[in-house]
Amino acid sequence: MDRPAIQLAVEDLHLSFGGVNALMGVGFDVRQGEIFSIIGPNGAGKTSMLNCISGRYHPQKGKISFEGQEITSKPPAARAQIGISRTFQNIALFKGMTVLDNMLIGRHIHLKSGFLKGGIYLGPCQREEIEHRAFVEDIIDFLEIEHIRKKVVGTLAYGLQKRVELARALALDPKLILLDEPMAGMNLEETEDMVRYVLDINQEWGVTVILVEHDMGVVMDISDRVVVLDFGQKIGEGTPEEVQKDPAVIRAYLGDEESVFLGR
């Protein structure tokens, strides 16, 4: 059976802030339809890598390509237009707006009607809004947030806010979604729910997932492949089984194989 096509290619990426080297020559490929995890100790460069892929940071050297098109210098909005969305380690929602309004903002990249036509709200504009709202309602049902759809985001519990941020990222209708510690700060039940959503997004919706997550049990259970960073350098890559046995990875986590990857 043919292997899935390479969807995202990262080549020899270098990123520095003054005298601090965040990424040094990192490269990897992400294939269509897989769950690809980026792991490493604190300060390894994981979020910096997501910021480079999403366009928030621009590396000093290297290349990023998405579906064969180089996007290294493209701004975040241009990357959103071609199907790359993300969530953030620190929740970045509009706290004074409702859940529904936050999600509709995620659809703005698909709006075709201009300001004047939208103000009239007739014909094509009306049909367009109905279509966008229908898409958002499907996500609300999928993530089981019907009961909070009209709630102001800032009044919600932390775990629900993380789910709303995932909903907004899905509203963009992405081909590739970047998840930056989506389970951080959650209790066991919330973590299990989020894992189920990530798997369904990947398997049922066909969205490629790049996951940054500190819960090694989750990473090893759901990832197709894993890349390991340490002090801005790639020190390992492979299947979860291969990475767990890599001596360089074990040393980076300052533990033995069992304690590091099974949470003991």
- Can you give the pLDDT at residue 264? 39
Backbone φ, ψ for residue 219 (5° rounding):
-55, -50
Cα–Cα–Cα angle for 220, 62, 233, rounded to 5 degrees: 40
- Check pLDDT > 50 for residue 176: yes
- Check pLDDT > 80 for residue 219: yes
Instruction: Supply the pTM of this predicted model.
Output: 0.88
Please provide the size of the chain in residues. Answer: 264
Query: Could you tell me which CATH class the domain 1-83+174-264 is placed in?
Result: alpha beta
Instruction: List, in order, residues 6 or more apart from 231 with CB less than 8 Å away.
Output: 43, 44, 45
d(CA 175, CA 33): 9
Ramachandran region, residue 104 (left: φ > 0; alpha: ψ -120 to 50; beta: rest): alpha
Greater confidence, 14 or 129? 14
Which tokens in the block code for residue 226? 């894993």
d(CA 182, CA 81): 23
- Check pLDDT > 90 for residue 263: no
Q: What is the pLDDT of residues 116-144, one digit of tens each?
A: 444 445 556 667 777 778 889 999 999 99
Q: Side chain identity at 49, as an amino acid letter?
A: M
Q: Side chain identity at 243, as an amino acid letter?
A: V
Domain boundaries, the chain: 1-83+174-264, 92-172
Q: HSE-up of 173 (CA within 13 Å, CB side)?
A: 16
DSSP 5: P
Largest CA distance in the chain: 65
CB 144 within 8 A of CB 137: no
Residue identified by tokens 């043919």 is 2
Q: What is the pLDDT of residues 47-82, one digit of tens each?
A: 999 999 999 999 999 999 999 999 999 999 999 999
